[in-house]
Amino acid sequence: MSGKHIFDLMSTLWPICRSITGDGVRETLNKIQSFLPGLKVHEVPTGTKCFDWEIPKEWNIKDAYILNPNGEKIIDFNVSNLHVVNYSIPVNKEIDLEDLQSHLHSIKNQPDAIPYVTSYYKENWGFCISHNQRERLRKGKYKVVIDSELKNGHLTYGELIIKGKSKKEVFISTYICHPSMANNELSGPCLTTFLTRYIEKMNPKYTYRIIFVPETIGSIFYLSKNLKILQENILAGFNINCVGDNNNWSFLPSKNGNLYVDRLTRRILKKRGVNYKEYSFLERGSDERQYCSPGIDLPVCSIMRSKYNTFEEYHTSHDNLEFVSEDGLQGAFEIYCNLIDEIERDIIPFCKIMAEPMMSKRGLRPTIGKRNSANSTKIFMDFLIFADGKNNLKEISKLINCDLEEAVKILDTLKKHDLIDYISK
Amino acid sequence: MSGKHIFDLMSTLWPICRSITGDGVRETLNKIQSFLPGLKVHEVPTGTKCFDWEIPKEWNIKDAYILNPNGEKIIDFNVSNLHVVNYSIPVNKEIDLEDLQSHLHSIKNQPDAIPYVTSYYKENWGFCISHNQRERLRKGKYKVVIDSELKNGHLTYGELIIKGKSKKEVFISTYICHPSMANNELSGPCLTTFLTRYIEKMNPKYTYRIIFVPETIGSIFYLSKNLKILQENILAGFNINCVGDNNNWSFLPSKNGNLYVDRLTRRILKKRGVNYKEYSFLERGSDERQYCSPGIDLPVCSIMRSKYNTFEEYHTSHDNLEFVSEDGLQGAFEIYCNLIDEIERDIIPFCKIMAEPMMSKRGLRPTIGKRNSANSTKIFMDFLIFADGKNNLKEISKLINCDLEEAVKILDTLKKHDLIDYISK
Amino acid sequence: MSGKHIFDLMSTLWPICRSITGDGVRETLNKIQSFLPGLKVHEVPTGTKCFDWEIPKEWNIKDAYILNPNGEKIIDFNVSNLHVVNYSIPVNKEIDLEDLQSHLHSIKNQPDAIPYVTSYYKENWGFCISHNQRERLRKGKYKVVIDSELKNGHLTYGELIIKGKSKKEVFISTYICHPSMANNELSGPCLTTFLTRYIEKMNPKYTYRIIFVPETIGSIFYLSKNLKILQENILAGFNINCVGDNNNWSFLPSKNGNLYVDRLTRRILKKRGVNYKEYSFLERGSDERQYCSPGIDLPVCSIMRSKYNTFEEYHTSHDNLEFVSEDGLQGAFEIYCNLIDEIERDIIPFCKIMAEPMMSKRGLRPTIGKRNSANSTKIFMDFLIFADGKNNLKEISKLINCDLEEAVKILDTLKKHDLIDYISK
């Protein structure tokens, strides 16, 4: 069962301290490569401009802890990498509790959770701690140590392109920048890993472009580098994240809300009888923020289990491996497999030939012409005349009054005869 | 009465054995030229590529017959040119009835009809025979003779362009590739011949492009050679065929179904009080298959009497001169004349001038300006402001609250003053 | 009160004999320049071509009168410049009453009104007279004198561009070619003068292009010279005229009828609770005839008091300073100020950046990222994603579920950070 494999990979990647740059990302991609040998790892130097942004310095961390006035280690990065504010600069000093407080982060309402806090673009340092523990801190001198490094380096991301028979692409994006949290985010790249293996095995018609990027800065860089080809070729895209728990189903459509990929997704969710909540695009919060922005306008949506920012465990130490489950992952995996399967079937065909193709030379029409001898050919001709890039297969089937199965057969035949251009080779 | 003239021309052309190439087409065009001296005959060499197709070898036939074991001529090409499978290669041999059977074509359900059969793109030979006669054949040796020739040559088609005052074109296409059959097809080119004469006499505003082509391969070649000019200029087009019987009225709209030409045609049919059946574009079967295909998208429709493939006589020896009638032809001729008349009146005007034209220098506005002195000019200005290429004359008349007759007068005046660009010279 | 200032300026300009060319226009513009020192006066030589038109000869007049057979001055240009047909060629001769009659213009139904008559494009001469006076004329020799000059010269117009922060423009056009008449037309340029002062004081976001042109020939010339820049930049435009009486409110929308400027104007009229008549574009009669013509299609509408051609005094000596009022002018002035104010607030923003802007470097997002830390940023991101040039501010506010005030604040913030491109500097 894929749910179990995904969960196991999550467990493997769990301890790694990821961030938007650094060795945690590399190690994560490296472990994913053992499942996806075709995954290509790209490094983008610090300072590279991309639209309004610039690749930041690279951050790495070896250790971090706090010793209390008694010299006891009360906070230990090795116990939870959430304890250190992500992108903290090095620090090593004694500090009064009062001064320490301004560098501590906790959540009053969730007193036993360690929050997830970052400071990517402003040099700072800090520790994250459960509110219960924070309340127990006594006055005195604390030793704070963050053995980190922030210097020119690279942003790292993974890209895997599965060449299909068509240049038209399905785009899958997931992110690999969060330290030890499960639903948001390890579920995303881990499910994507096994989804990629699923696609690799299927010898797909479409080309699949799958990227594992640090959220925001990674997708923005990727867009800045590949915008034209993405806009030309992407037929449908998904931003995969929050796919691990077994509580809810959530759908975040594209900005347009009624593109092919939106209709496709609703169709699949309905077909599976899934009870899901459709969010407004205003509720977006992940890389669709980039993919659907003005002038970029890619057809990207997300199907999630419990959507980011809607569950209490989100961005805390409680979003752990117990919050997700093999069943939850399996369900999401199946939906995405269904979507891929459906996309593979459910295509927008383009007739490759001007005017009617000559069907008899392809054996698609009897060479002897007599009354009604073209009857068997008619459905092909009907299909071709609506294969104008404005209708997907199902819509064509409705237009020409045949069922989808028959339309698939027609398509296969026309494909075989190189009359439909979604097959590029 | 034109119905009689059309019928007489059909009678003249009746005996000729036409095909998609060969001397039958030339002889047909030649006889039509005696009515239309302006008809230009084009020859396209065998092997010429056009989109997915290639001009085939030219086929000609002198004679064909079958002698029964008694030496009696039981099948004679000279009695009916339907008896030989169109494009049959030469044959001259004795053959057992059993072997002959696989080269015979008949229709069980219509036992006294000779079917029309072709084999344009696969070398073959055969005879068409009534099922009754076929049933009576006795065992024995039959002598089969087809004195035909299939070799490199040309495809022949006719083209006549009646220059109008405007570059905008009305396109009329008909086909001249069927041997002796009346409704489908001699009615088409014969009605088109007299319709062309009608247009020639009218000194039309629009340019008329009238082509007599072999069906399918002829229209495809014509499109491949003239696509750009057709797409730029054609305002309305008709594929004329099946216009001879007096039974039904049929309308096959363009693929879009609501273009100017479709609205025009429905309007005329309604105006004449004609009870017609509007077919789905899925029921298409003639050269609109090419003219409306993706990427070509010309505004072409057909008004027919009994539509091809809907009457029992279709593609048999029963589609003969008795199946059609002078009355039937006359009715269709009148509809097409009405359509042409209406197109000539019912135009889509374009204002030729940026900002308002200066009306007083054209005498369209009093040179003395006083209150209400521009009242007579107002309607011209209203017309011009809606002459933006998005509205036809009638729609403009509704937009400016005048009746069509008045709009025609306005148009004439504006035309006279070179303010409307549908008149190019 | 601006109504009084406008009325005073009208009184000052009242005696001047304006026409489409000549010193009357120059003197008018010169007096307006004392209020608008930035007004630039342009001179266009006679014979200059513009679209279908050509700048006519320049016309100037010193005096005109008629002496009756007794040598009494019965018509005096110095009493009313309406007495002479505008653009009359020089004349100085004795003439019988009968011959004189064909050069006289009066209105039978308004026997005490002197009509306004022109003959710009055909050389002619004539006098306008009340019908009562005309009836009293006795047979005999009349001395007619028109001391005018029609020769190569210039057409004169005024243009004032108030540079705003944005290249996007609001366009205001008014005309300065009528002799002594009040509602149509002195109210137009005089209100526009004070509206311009109002705008000059406001340091506007938008660039304002304000022109004082002779009607028709002036606007046509201006279009021919500036079409591209107008089409690129104009967000909203107004043709200001007939804004002086206190009787009615009239709205003439653009040809399209539902552009931003139309919706804006209806909104303001509604907000003020003004009971107005919305005319069809067919009722147009001023320079919107040019601005909205095919291929030009600028977003221009008019808000008027009593619309030209709908009131009896129109184009007669009765359209005098008593027909208009300070209150009437004040009301129209306020509406236009409201429109300008609203335009200044109510903008169509464009996001200047591809993908999401980096908000934290602009202080628009906490540098520390924790759960919900982006909440304050969300509304900016929502705004930016709909700032795609298809929605105005209010529409965006509805799309992102905030009220207009909040949207204005968001806009200001985004403007400050150079994220919205309606501010060009």
The answer to whether B281 contacts A385, with C-beta atoms less than 8 Å apart, is yes
Q: What is the pLDDT of residue C425?
A: 36
Which whole-number Å values give the CA distances from C50 to B359, B382, C216, C286, in the listed order?
14, 21, 11, 18
Residue of C352, C353, C354, C386 to mutate, interface with A, max A Cβ within 10 Å:
C354
The answer to whether C289 contacts B400, with C-beta atoms less than 8 Å apart, is no
Q: Which residues of A touch B181 (CB under 8 A)?
A: none
Q: What is the pLDDT of residue A121?
A: 86
Q: Are A264 and A346 contacting, i.e. CB atoms less than 8 angstroms apart?
A: yes
Lowest mean pLDDT among A141-155, C326-340, C366-380: C366-380
Residue B402 has pLDDT above 60, yes or no: yes
Q: Which residues of B touch A382 (CB under 8 A)?
A: 282
The answer to whether A388 contacts B117, with C-beta atoms less than 8 Å apart, is no
Q: What pairs with residue B63 in β-bridges?
A: B147
The answer to whether C369 contacts A120, with C-beta atoms less than 8 Å apart, is yes
Phi, psi of C32 (to 5 degrees): -65, -35
Lowest mean pLDDT among A251-255, C42-46, C365-369, C394-398: C365-369
Of the spans A364-378, A392-406, C190-204, C348-362, which averages the highest pLDDT? C190-204
Instruction: Go through chain B and tell me how many residues it has.
Output: 425
Q: What is the pLDDT of residue B398?
A: 87
CA–CA gap between residue C242 and residue C10 (Å, rounded): 13
Q: Which residues of C touch A109 (CB under 8 A)?
A: none
Q: What is the pLDDT of residue C90?
A: 98
Q: What is the pLDDT of residue B389?
A: 59
- Amino acid B166 reads S
Of the spans A386-400, C20-34, C164-178, which averages the highest pLDDT? C20-34
Chain C residues with CB under 8 Å of a chain B CB are: 51-53, 85-86, 105, 107, 115-122, 124, 126, 216, 219-220, 223-224, 227, 255, 281-282, 285, 289-290, 292-296, 309, 314-316
Of residues B340, B398, B325, the one with CA closest to residue B11: B325
Looking at residue B341, what DSSP letter applies? H
For the residues C233-245, what does the mean pLDDT come to? Answer: 94
- Amino acid B200 reads E
User: Would you identify the CATH topology of the domain C2-56+154-345?
Assistant: Aminopeptidase (3.40.630)
Q: What is the pLDDT of residue B348?
A: 78
Query: Can you give the pTM of this predicted structure?
Result: 0.51
For the residues A388-413, what does the mean pLDDT come to? Answer: 85
Q: Which residues of C touch A119 (CB under 8 A)?
A: 367-369
Chain B residues with CB under 8 Å of a chain A CB are: 51-53, 85-86, 105, 107, 115-122, 124, 126, 216, 219-220, 223-224, 227, 255, 281-282, 289-290, 292-296, 309, 314-316
Kindly state the tokens that stand for A421: 């251009």
CA–CA gap between residue A154 and residue A67 (Å, rounded): 32
**Closest in C354, C374, C382 to A296, CB measured:** C354
* C-alpha dihedral sign at A366, A372, A374, A376: negative
Q: What is the pLDDT of residue B425?
A: 36
- Each residue of B333-357: pLDDT tens digit? 999 999 999 888 777 787 888 888 8
Domain residue spans in chain B? 2-56+154-345, 61-150, 360-416
For the residues A366-385, what does the mean pLDDT come to? Answer: 80
Of residues A305, A339, A328, A327, the one with CA closest to residue A202: A339
Residue B316 has pLDDT above 70, yes or no: yes
Token match 């509604």: residue? C270
Phi, psi of C167 (to 5 degrees): -70, -25
Q: Which residues of B touch C115 (CB under 8 A)?
A: 370-371
Chain A residues with CB under 8 Å of a chain B CB are: 350-351, 353-358, 360-361, 367-372, 381-382, 384-385, 387-389, 400-401
The answer to whether A289 contacts C367, with C-beta atoms less than 8 Å apart, is no
Of residues B285, B182, B181, B296, the one with CA closest to residue B239: B285
User: Would you identify the CATH topology of the domain A59-151?
Assistant: Glucose Oxidase; domain 1 (3.50.30)
Q: Are A17 and A60 contacting, i.e. CB atoms less than 8 angstroms apart?
A: no
The answer to whether A387 contacts B85, with C-beta atoms less than 8 Å apart, is no
Residue B144 has pLDDT above 80, yes or no: yes
Confidence of residue C424 (pLDDT cuts 50, 70, 90): very low
For the residues A46-59, what does the mean pLDDT come to? Answer: 93
Kindly state the tokens that stand for A202: 């299927």
The answer to whether A289 contacts C356, with C-beta atoms less than 8 Å apart, is yes
Which chain C residue is nearest to residue B396, measuring alpha carbons?
C282
Q: What is the pLDDT of residue A263?
A: 86
Q: A181 to chain C, minimum CA–CA distance in Å?
A: 13
What CATH number is given for B61-150 in this structure?
3.50.30.90
Q: Which residues of A touch B224 (CB under 8 A)?
A: 354-355
Which chain A residue is nearest to residue B219, measuring alpha carbons?
A355
Give the neighbor-by-neighbor strand order of the sheet with C91-96.
C73-76, C58-67, C141-151, C91-96
Touching subunits of C (3+ CB pairs, under 8 Å) are: A, B
Buried b / exposed e over B207-240, threshold 16 CB at 10 Å, is bbbbbbbbbbbbbbbbbbeebeebeebbbbbbbb
Longest dimension (CA), chain C: 101
**Closest in A255, A285, A314 to C385, CB measured:** A255
Q: Are A88 and A126 contacting, i.e. CB atoms less than 8 angstroms apart?
A: yes
Token match 């991309």: residue? A50
The answer to whether C356 contacts A292, with C-beta atoms less than 8 Å apart, is no
- Angle separating helix axes A187-201 and A2-13, nearest 10 degrees: 130
Kindly state the tokens that stand for C191: 């209100």
The answer to whether C367 contacts A295, with C-beta atoms less than 8 Å apart, is no
Kindly state the tokens that stand for B216: 């399918």
Quick one: B248 exposed, middle or buried, by C-beta within 10 A (0-12, 13-18, 19+)? middle
CA–CA gap between residue A164 and residue A199 (Å, rounded): 10
**Closest in C355, C368, C389 to A296, CB measured:** C355
CA–CA gap between residue B163 and residue B160 (Å, rounded): 9
CA–CA gap between residue C85 and residue C414 (Å, rounded): 58
Which chain C residue is nearest to residue B419, measuring alpha carbons?
C52
Q: What is the pLDDT of residue A389?
A: 60
The answer to whether C354 contacts A216, with C-beta atoms less than 8 Å apart, is no
Which whole-number Å values give the CA distances from A347 to A269, A339, A388, in the listed order?
18, 12, 12
Residue A423 has pLDDT above 60, yes or no: no
> How many Cα atoms are found within 13 Å in the side-chain-facing hemisphere of B409?
8
Q: Are B60 and B146 contacting, i.e. CB atoms less than 8 angstroms apart?
A: no
Q: What is the pLDDT of residue A424?
A: 38
Kindly state the tokens that stand for B78: 């000279």
Q: What pairs with residue C238 in β-bridges?
A: C172, C301
Q: What is the pLDDT of residue A390?
A: 63
Which chain C residue is nearest to residue A254, measuring alpha carbons?
C385
Q: Are C6 and C333 contacting, i.e. CB atoms less than 8 angstroms apart?
A: yes
The answer to whether B117 contacts A361, with C-beta atoms less than 8 Å apart, is no
- Amino acid B183 reads N
**What region, left, alpha or beta, does residue B266 occupy, with left being phi > 0 and alpha being psi -120 to 50 degrees?**
alpha
Residue B245 has pLDDT above 80, yes or no: yes
Touching subunits of B (3+ CB pairs, under 8 Å) are: A, C
For the residues A58-83, what does the mean pLDDT come to? Answer: 97
DSSP H or E run through C286:
none
Q: What is the pLDDT of residue C56?
A: 94
Residue C167 has pLDDT above 90, yes or no: no
* C-alpha dihedral sign at C402, C404, C410, C414: positive
The answer to whether C294 contacts B368, with C-beta atoms less than 8 Å apart, is no
For the residues B72-81, what does the mean pLDDT come to? Answer: 97
CA–CA gap between residue C150 and residue C89 (Å, rounded): 6
Phi, psi of C149 (to 5 degrees): -145, 130
Lowest mean pLDDT among A320-324, A352-356, C181-185: A352-356
The answer to whether C369 contacts A296, with C-beta atoms less than 8 Å apart, is no
Q: What is the pLDDT of residue C110?
A: 95
Phi, psi of B382 (to 5 degrees): -60, -45
Confidence of residue C367 (pLDDT cuts 50, 70, 90): confident
- Each residue of B203-229: pLDDT tens digit? 898 999 999 999 989 999 999 999 999
CA–CA gap between residue B181 and residue B173 (Å, rounded): 18
Q: How many CB atoms lie within 10 A of CB B122?
A: 12
Q: What is the pLDDT of residue C12?
A: 97
ipTM of the complex: 0.73
Chain C residues with CB under 8 Å of a chain A CB are: 350-351, 353-358, 360-361, 367-372, 374, 381-382, 384-385, 387-389, 400-401
Q: How many CB atoms lie within 10 A of CB B146?
A: 22
- Amino acid A123 reads E
DSSP H or E run through C385:
helix C375-386
**End-to-end alpha carbon distance in chain A:** 34
Share of chain B above pLDDT 90, in %: 72
Residues 6+ apart with CB under 8 A from C155: C20, C21, C25, C43, C44, C46, C48, C55, C56, C58, C214, C217, C218, C221
The answer to whether C314 contacts B371, with C-beta atoms less than 8 Å apart, is yes
Residue B97 has pLDDT above 60, yes or no: yes
**Closest in A85, A122, A293 to C356, CB measured:** A293
Q: What is the pLDDT of residue C390?
A: 63
Instruction: Go through chain A and tell me how many residues it has.
Output: 425
Residue of B120, B121, B254 to mutate, interface with A, max A Cβ within 10 Å:
B121
Angle at CA of residue B279, ends B277 and B282, nearest 5°: 170
Residue A122 has pLDDT above 80, yes or no: yes
Of the spans C97-106, C163-172, C352-361, which averages the highest pLDDT? C97-106
Longest dimension (CA), chain B: 101
